[in-house]
Structure 1
Amino acid sequence: RLGVPELVAFYVEQGAQVDALNAHMETPLACAAYWALHYKDQKYSPDHHLICRMLLDYKAEVNTRDEDFKSPLHKAAWNCDHVLLHMLLEAGAEANIMDVNGCAPLQYIIKVTSVRPAAQPDVCYQLLLNHGAARIYPLQFHKVKDGFVQSREMEREDDLNRREMREPNLRV
């Protein structure tokens, strides 16, 4: 979490497994990817980037998943970290890997773009697309939303009609 590259080198030299899991089923690579963004000041950590590079050089598995099926690529996408996304994708990360909710890394970038002022989301999008990520067509989102709203309105009307048929009109 603190991002000390010297400790990573020391532990690996002492025989630590680069794909060891913590209590949340996260590997050191996934943890380093997540903590690469200091949320308070919205700055990316070069030390965490170096740790990720070191772990990849030590042959860390790039597509491991935690208990929510999030890969290190999901965590880099959540941070909108184009440096780390590039590093992971070049190491063989799957661009379309899904988490437990069926979300791909590209969807994470869409979710967080507005709250990552230091990010370069256009670079992140392009990196994922260049590595085979499925395209998302935001112009179609409104159609899905409108269809959902219309179906909910129709359900409400049906419920009202059923209620009126069950409850006789008591007015005289």
Structure 2
Amino acid sequence: MSSWDSPPDYPLSSDLVRRLKSALATGDKDTVQELICTEVEPVDAVIELANDDWMKEPSAQLPTGALLGLWTLEYKRELTTPLCIAAAHGHVFCVRHLLSHSADPDARPGGRGALHEACLGGHTACTRLLLEHGADPDLLSAEGLAPLHLCRTPASLGCAQALLEHGATVQLECGPGRDTPLHVAAQYGLDEHAQLYLGRGARVDARNGRGETALSAACGAATRSPDEHARCLRLCALLLRGGAAADARDEDERSPLHKACGRARPSLCTLLLLHGADAGALDYGGASPLARALQTATCAPPAAPQRMVQALLNHGSPLVWPDAFPKVLRTCAQVPAVIEVLFNSYTHLRVSESWQEVIPEDVYQMHEPFYRSLFALAHTPRCLRHLSRCAIRRLLGKKCFLLVPQLPLPETLQTYLLLEPEGVLH
């Protein structure tokens, strides 16, 4: 009979579980230690910390929507052991005490073992203790994840180091996505973890179940803070130095550059382009990196969209089809710098006064100087300076970004050639 079917040694309704949950919720380490080390018997007792089996509770009041869709409800029950609890909260004394009393380091009645919990919490000392007492460094959880795959925070670097020292498999593919530890490090922007895994022989261009390399996974991951963004940039630079293919496509034919543009990361876009990423690559849907950059322009951080568009155009990205420019204008109206950079990449683009209809009135008024200069070109040819810029850019082609800074020109003219926005069109 499985632990799920067997009654737990300490059910949710027991006094010990009530006191234990209260101590865990308040961070009362002394009480947790006392309960685990002196009251729980046997040492590998199964403890029930949660149970939402409402069908066993006659008084449960369910909303009508739930009653109409009972088949969508999932019964969740959390079973664990004293060792898992201690490891999850970094209680080294408890872990040592339990192991000294022959607690099973690989027991996982709730689906995860103590080693999984220690790695999730980033508790290096607990991880080392468990490994020294024979914990399996490649033990799979019920979700099919090894401990290395649960090293997901900067604090878990020591755990990852300890796992590898005790024989963990650095190239193990686990979970529904068949990710390697390097993929996990990439998804969470853990540059130091990635460096550790590469140093232990991880294959830099290994593919997961979605056809992604670690570089692709890193470029598609969300970053919420400047620190996370900086770590992601360092990680991608590390992968590229290690030989990662800048143009590796996933199962949808999206390249890392597609994903970086979709996440509005101009620094990362530039890094990829400098390592040979194809600015004109098309995914299965026919979208280019430029299209992805334009799609995300209005929700990107300030200055990011025009920097991405600049970088792509200066590395040879094909232009938007002229007839589609009104659609771009509608999508990016709130970011006139993007419109300016893109418009200035054409030698000549016929301006229609009807375009004004796609720009919301409040947006037009907010950026009136720019839009007035745009629609003034409906009856005026572009200036000679612009035409000269287009001729030089056409001559330099995809190497504009590299060659323009080498021209014997003042910096202001160099930035002009590289489509630096000025706020108005001439």
Query: 1:95-106, aligned counterparts within 5 Å?
Result: 95-106=279-290
Superposed CA offset, 1:74-112 (max 9, x none): 000101110000000000000000000011000001111
Query: 1:77-96, aligned counterparts within 5 Å?
Result: 77-96=261-280
Where do 5+ consecutive residues of structure 1 fail to align?
144-172
Task: Work out which of the residue numbers 228, 242, 247 in structure 2 matches 1:63.
Answer: 247
Task: Provide closer, same or farther for how the CA distance between residues 9 and 44 of structure 1 changes in structure 2, counting only shifts above 3 A.
Answer: closer
Tell me how far apart the structure 1 counterparts of residues 226 and 238 of structure 2 sit (CA, whole Å). Answer: 23
Task: Work out which of the residue numbers 307, 310, 313 in structure 2 matches 1:123.
Answer: 307
Task: Provide closer, same or farther for how the CA distance between residues 131 and 70 of structure 1 changes in structure 2, counting only shifts above 3 A.
Answer: same
Identity %: 35
CA drift at 1:118: 4.5
Query: 1:1-172, aligned counterparts within 5 Å?
Result: 1-35=187-221, 37-38=223-224, 45-118=229-302, 120-137=304-321, 140-142=324-326
Match of 1:154 in 2: none
CA drift at 1:114: 1.0
SS at match of 2:296: helix
Contact 2:293 2:305 in 1 (8 A): yes
Letter in 2 for 1:27: T
Tell me how far apart the structure 2 counterparts of residues 100 and 9 of structure 1 sit (CA, whole Å). Answer: 32
CA drift at 1:34: 1.2
Larger Rg belongs to: 2
Structure with higher RCO (Cα < 8 A, 6+ apart):
1
Superposed CA offset, 1:44-65 (max 9, x none): 6111110000000001011110
Tell me how far apart the structure 1 counterparts of residues 214 and 228 of structure 2 sit (CA, whole Å). Answer: 17
Task: Provide closer, same or farther for how the CA distance between residues 78 and 109 of structure 1 changes in structure 2, counting only shifts above 3 A.
Answer: same
Task: Provide closer, same or farther for how the CA distance between residues 51 and 36 of structure 1 changes in structure 2, counting only shifts above 3 A.
Answer: farther
Tell me how far apart the structure 2 counterparts of residues 75 and 142 of structure 1 sit (CA, whole Å). Answer: 25
SS at match of 1:132: coil
Task: Provide closer, same or farther for how the CA distance between residues 14 and 42 of structure 1 changes in structure 2, counting only shifts above 3 A.
Answer: closer
Tell me how far apart the structure 2 counterparts of residues 5 and 49 of structure 1 sit (CA, whole Å). Answer: 9
Q: TM-score, normalised by structure 1?
A: 0.75
Letter in 1 for 2:230: P
Contact 1:42 1:117 in 2 (8 A): no
Task: Provide closer, same or farther for how the CA distance between residues 131 and 12 of structure 1 changes in structure 2, counting only shifts above 3 A.
Answer: same
CA drift at 1:119: 5.2
Tell me how far apart the structure 2 counterparts of residues 82 and 126 of structure 1 sit (CA, whole Å). Answer: 9
Contact 1:49 1:84 in 2 (8 A): yes
SS at match of 1:107: helix
Letter in 2 for 1:18: V
Task: Provide closer, same or farther for how the CA distance between residues 100 and 14 of structure 1 changes in structure 2, counting only shifts above 3 A.
Answer: same
Contact 1:95 1:104 in 2 (8 A): yes
Tell me how far apart the structure 2 counterparts of residues 53 and 79 of structure 1 sit (CA, whole Å). Answer: 17
Task: Provide closer, same or farther for how the CA distance between residues 142 and 71 of structure 1 changes in structure 2, counting only shifts above 3 A.
Answer: same
